[in-house]
Structure 1
Amino acid sequence: MTTQTILPVDAERLSELSLRCGEPSWLKESRLKALELAAELTLPKLEKTRIDRWNVNHYGNYKETQPIASLHEAPSSITALVKDQEEGSLIIHRNSGVVFTRLAPELAEQGVIFTDLQTAVREHGDLVQRYLHKAVKPDEHSLAALHAALWNGGVFLYVPKNVVVSTPLQAVLLTDDAEASFVPHILIVADTNSSVTYVDNYVSDKTEAGLHNGAVEVFVGAGAKVRYASVHQLGEDTTDVTYRRAVVENDGAIDWIIGEMNYGNTASDTKSILKGNGSTSNAKVIAVGSGSQKLNYTTQAQHFGKNTPSNMITRAVMRDAATSIINGITKIEKGATRADGQQTEKVLMLSPKARGDANPILLIDEDDVTAGHAASVGQVNYEQVYYLMSRGISRHEAETLIIYGFLAPVVSQIPLEGLRNQLQSLVERKLGQ
């Protein structure tokens, strides 16, 4: 079944908006071409998920944002998330644009760029043009094309050659106006032998239906290391569709740490493309589903280079009538000798009405490789519960300990203590603890 794509804007209005924002001609043409593609392409095909029944058309309109001078003016819904960032590098994106940007002076002196993507287009156009839409390509499906046509605000992070950034850079992305478009694009470029940790948090504060159509592109240079941590906690009225891609060169490394804590329907696809020899990827994803949520998570590693290890761990906990599809895909291309692809998907169901599918997939076109997978779907192990109860722990506490132990491989890896504590609180809230 194909579904006609409803375009939220016509070419004339999109062209006028691009001109009003002072965008260069190459970006305007890129947007218009993507809009043409969106009219021709269909929605992405998700395993056992009818995304055509989701709210994937409510984009709203571009609304100019008013910058804030200090964190004291930040919206109350994100105050707790930025209270520890009085001095650190921080970007706050609200609805259709960025309202606050701060880069530590010592990083600016080393040539680090950390700003909103629309500003980067004007001030670092050649650099942005070299990478924008090269990993998440507009012709993948209609949502990717519409993202390329409509993206706004977003984040651009560039780390120069041999620069090691020891302190995490953080972004908070808030949607609290259902009539304002929320289509941020995250673009990260880590040059040769550089190192950086980037953390972002997606938050909503509204009661009307909305859509987040997001894309993340990470380019990891030779010998560079990027750790990307992201927590999504959008409300039940917000549909969240996010595509993440990393392209990793020789001896580079990407670490994904993803916490999917939304309350609405969610689809995400996180993929590492191990292009260079010796490149590595580690992906850790946790999700907690509640209510009647429909969740579809895919984690991928595609091996092109030789001696390329990848590891993917996904943990999902489903309660109430929530359903989840968890896909792990390891693709080893011909010529990727001595590649090693490992993956584990586990789903824990806390209710008779909850449903979970774990689908490990290995696609191997080379003989000299190693690969493995493990998958499980089940309920809390009551032998473990009874063992803990025999030690004087209540049933509720025993089940809670088992659930937290189930999620611990990801939660423990969050690089910011405040974000780690926040994720723990979100888990507790979603589990009704």
Structure 2
Amino acid sequence: MTTQTILPVDAGRLSELSLSSGEPEWLKESRLKALELAGQLELPKLEKMKIERWNINQYGTYKASEAISSLSEVPSSLTALTGAEGGSLVIQRNSGAVYTNLAPELAAQGVIFTDLQTAAREHGDLVRRYLHTAIKPDEHSVAALHAALWNGGVFLYIPKNVVVDTPLQAIYLSDDAEATFAPHILIVADTNSSVTYVDNYVSSKSEAGLHNGAVEVFALAGAKVRFASVHQFGSDMTDITYRRAVLENDGSIEWIIGEMNDGDTASDTKSVLKGNGSTSDAKVIAVGSGSQRLNYTTQAQHFGKNTPSDMITRAVMRENATSIINGITKIEKGATRADGQQTEKVLMLSPKARGDANPILLIDEDDVSAGHAASVGQVNQEQIYYLMSRGITRGEAEKLVIYGFLAPVVSQIPLEGLRDQLQSLVERKLGQ
């Protein structure tokens, strides 16, 4: 059975929006072609879940928010996330960027850090070379609609041999249910460069909304990219996010993903180890509560020789939450001496919570190493009783067991601020 995709905008209106934003002709044509594809393609297929039953049509309309000149003007809901004045930061509110700042010393080195719509106008050749090449619009209707409707977002370019020691940050706020919210993040790390990028996704509204987001990362030869992202949307928000990294010879990506939403969530994070000696390390933690439906997929596809990948996902489910955790390691023919490892673990705190861990190894080459581990279970009562026998309350004992379960991932996060943030979000989600 084919599910008909409901297009939230027609070609005429999309052309008007592109022209009014001053976008180049190539970008307008790209949007129109993607919109046409969206009407032809089917929805993505989620393992053991029917995405067509989710709120996936609440795109709204393009509504830009008023720009702000300093961090003193940011909404109160973002104050704790913005950091110090003068740091490199992009803030998007609803359908467009409202604040951008790049540290002068980075600008002097040729770093580009701005919203993607501005970058398409000012750095068109560079953006056009990479945009929609890692996540192609013809994958499915959700990808096509994103390619047609994306707004705001970030473009980050690190020139050859430039090493950026201070993280660059972005914040994405959705607080108007009638506004299209579909940021696109495009990161290009040139040869032998290094960068850390951190972002937060936040919503503050009571009406149903949709985030259809995409991330494309390109690490050229010898480049190192650390990508950290925390999603903390409210229960009214459906979150669909696709992430892709393409790694050239000796390029590397480190994914650090905190899935702390209160609403239905589907994310797919994939590393394509294209070059010899490229590496990928993915760490994902998630906490589900209420009646959430969660579907997380982490992938590593090996083409190059001597390419190690590691994926760790740990999820805690409470109340009536349901989760599907997929890990996929694909080693292509010719990827000799590749090494793909993955671990998925789900801890259930309630008899009604559901978790499913699916490790998948697809190997088309003989001279490789690969392994997986997966487990789904409830809190070990013997551990609880042991801690209680030492004078600790049941609530505190359960809390210690949960933190111990998540610690192997959280403790490896190299950014102290992000570790602290995830700790507080885990406490909030668990009602501690």
* TM-score where L is the length of structure 2: 0.99
Distance 1:289 1:216 in 2: 23
Q: Which residue matches 2:13?
A: 13
Q: Which residue matches 1:69?
A: 69
The answer to whether the aligner puts 1:393 opposite 2:392 as a matched pair is: yes
Distance 1:19 1:415 in 2: 43
1:202-231 deviation line (CA, Å, top 9, x unaligned):
000000000000000000011110000000
Q: Which residue matches 2:360?
A: 361
Against the structure 1 CA distance between its residues 203 and 236, is the aligned structure 2 distance closer, same or farther, given a 3 Å change threshold? same
Distance 1:275 1:137 in 2: 17
Q: Which residue matches 2:186?
A: 187
Distance 1:410 1:136 in 2: 27
Shift of 1:156: 0.4
Distance 2:86 2:149 in 1: 32
Aligned 1:149-164 pairs, distance under 5 A:
149-164=148-163
Shift of 1:71: 0.4
Distance 2:409 2:204 in 1: 26
Shift of 1:385: 1.8
Distance 1:301 1:162 in 2: 26
Shift of 1:415: 4.2
- Pick which of 418-427 and 308-317 moved more: 418-427
Shift of 1:316: 0.4
Percent identity over the alignment is 84
1:367-387 deviation line (CA, Å, top 9, x unaligned):
000100000000111222222
- AA aligned opposite 2:167: P
Query: Equivalent residue of 1:399, what SS?
Result: helix
Q: Which residue matches 1:240?
A: 239
Distance 1:285 1:224 in 2: 22
Shift of 1:193: 0.4
- Pick which of 379-388 and 369-378 moved more: 379-388
The 8 Å contact of residues 195 and 226 in structure 1, kept in 2 or not, is answered as yes
Q: Which residue matches 2:55?
A: 55
Superposed CA RMSD in Å reads 0.9
Distance 1:98 1:64 in 2: 8
Distance 1:338 1:415 in 2: 28
Distance 1:337 1:119 in 2: 42
Q: Which residue matches 1:282?
A: 281
Q: Which residue matches 2:41?
A: 41
Query: Equivalent residue of 1:156, what SS?
Result: strand
Query: Equivalent residue of 2:39, what SS?
Result: helix
Distance 2:163 2:236 in 1: 40
Q: Which residue matches 1:25?
A: 25
Q: Which residue matches 2:177?
A: 178
1:128-168 deviation line (CA, Å, top 9, x unaligned):
00000000110000000000000000000000000000000
Aligned 1:334-345 pairs, distance under 5 A:
334-345=333-344
Distance 2:418 2:101 in 1: 19
The 8 Å contact of residues 278 and 305 in structure 1, kept in 2 or not, is answered as yes
Distance 1:196 1:410 in 2: 21
Aligned 1:244-283 pairs, distance under 5 A:
244-283=243-282
Query: Equivalent residue of 2:359, what SS?
Result: strand
The 8 Å contact of residues 95 and 182 in structure 1, kept in 2 or not, is answered as yes
* TM-score where L is the length of structure 1: 0.99
Distance 2:65 2:205 in 1: 17
